[in-house]
Amino acid sequence: MRDFMNITKALADETRVRILMALRDGELCVCQITELFGMAPSTISKHLSILFQAGLVESRKTERWVYYRLPARKAPAMVRAPLAWASKAIENEERIQADTKKLKQILKINPTELCQRQRPK
């Protein structure tokens, strides 16, 4: 029951669902996700933490960057089913389409540059 409640909590926030949709095509660095949503890195980190606790994302650290991705195909059905449902249900939503378009532009920018832009001066 706890896993189910964590998943429903994670999916109950628009930003977290948008993050999941952004990860459909592959992993993203935290700086890329932060740039996409224009929020403070601490806010994005909190959202990613909730998604991670629910098992809806996986992460890896490389040097100074942390990357997030959707779980592997071997993830439990309790995780795969809501991800598939959410993706199918909102893939054509205007906001998701706008995020996809903006993300294509962000992916053209070197993550090091993004990271440096986002650091407090």
CATH of the domain at 50: 1.10.10.10
Sign of the dihedral defined by the CA atoms of residues 7, 76, 51, 13, in that order: negative
Flag whether the pTM goes above 0.75: yes
pLDDT score for 115: 80
Sheet strand arrangement including 65-69: 28-29, 65-69, 58-62
Count structural domains, the chain: 1
Sign of the dihedral defined by the CA atoms of residues 102, 107, 109, 113, in that order: positive
**Please, are residues 15 and 47 in contact by the beta-carbon 8 Å criterion?**
yes
CA atoms of 50 and 68, how far apart (whole Å): 13
Host domain of residue 26: 2-118
User: Mean pLDDT per segment of 10 residues, for the chain of length 121 residues?
Assistant: 89 97 94 95 96 96 91 87 93 95 94 77 56
